[in-house]
Amino acid sequence: MGLKIHELSNKNGMKVTVTNLGCAIMKLEIPVKGGAKDVVLGFETAEEYRGKHPFFGVAVGRFANRIGGGEFELGGKTYNLEKNDGGVNHLHGGSNGFDKKIWDVESSSDEKIVFALQSPDGDSGYPGDLTVRVTYTLTAENILRIDYEAVTETETICNLTNHSYFNLCGHDAKDVYGHEMQIFSDKITEVDEELIPTGGFVDITGTPFDFNTVKTISADLEAAGNVNNTGGYDHNYVLRGEGKAASVYSPGTGIRFTVSTNSPGMQFYTGNFIDGTVSGKGVTYQKHSGFCLETQLFPDSINKPSFPSCVVKKGVPQKFYTEFAFEW
């Protein structure tokens, strides 16, 4: 199965380029005055996504975010996963997760593409045969919609997200500091020093994590980064329910996008670990050169019974969606 690249487009001039390697969103072009702005970090060729990079634009699985100690119990059996996060925890499905797989293209058109992946029992240490579909749809209303579906014959766990790094000033802009952010959330999941949830929640009202009132990403970036030594934001926001999760605006380009989802959580991450060692599309990416809004189930939810369940059962498909609605 070879690498493929496909372009979605609409009548308004918006374009989204994707590849079947990791379902990566390679380009997301907004037709502003003076020419199109590509607002996602990434690479020019599909082949480059095989190399080491900080999950640029990819579909992450089987389990997005972290699993504490790389271990969980399901159906009375303990499963041990790769500890690819500091040698202690499991992160984003491991070093051979869904982001490194070549997906089947089930169908494609100018507006829509459906990727499918068969993940066998034991894949990266996870139990159960899992069939996953990720569908990208670009609408005439300038909405990029992502639909996730996971089906299994044997009980397993799954937590899918998209890991696009956005910069509404253009992927080649220096940083995201001036972006005006609003996140519709009143609390985050409390984490320990290794960013594993404790099972508790933190009321963020009036703290550096509070984005209920619009503010720039840079306003409290340093203060937030000092809380868990993250160097910026890298936290799971507890959403209020299905619907609007966040809104971001770039005064420099006039581009705005709104995130809506039925996922219970969203990781706001400011590219703290991008370190100038990865180059793509003609630029070298630096710390804080992009931000992620990863809609998801809560991190380590399999080990936290009070969190929304990540367990997928036979005959009960797991379905989530995310919409990125753009204006310019």
Rounded CA gap, 297 and 159, in Å? 6
Query: Quick one: residue 288, left, alpha or beta (phi over 0 = left, psi -120 to 50 = alpha)?
Result: left
149-180 as b/e: b if 16+ CB within 10 A: bbbbeeebbbbbbbbbbbbbbbbbbebbeebb
Amino acid 289 reads: S
Tell me if residue 254 falls in helix, strand or coil: coil
194: annotated active-site residue: no
Given the residues 6, 53, 90, 163, select the one marked as catalytic. 163
Q: Any residues with CB less than 8 A from the CB of 137 and at least 6 apart, and which?
A: 8, 111, 112, 143, 144, 145, 147
235: annotated active-site residue: no
Given the residues 48, 149, 294, 323, select the one marked as catalytic. 294
Pairing relationship of beta strands 15-19 and 25-30 according to DSSP bridges: antiparallel
Q: What is the DSSP string of 310-324?
A: -EEBTTB-EEEEEEE
Active-site positions read: 163, 294
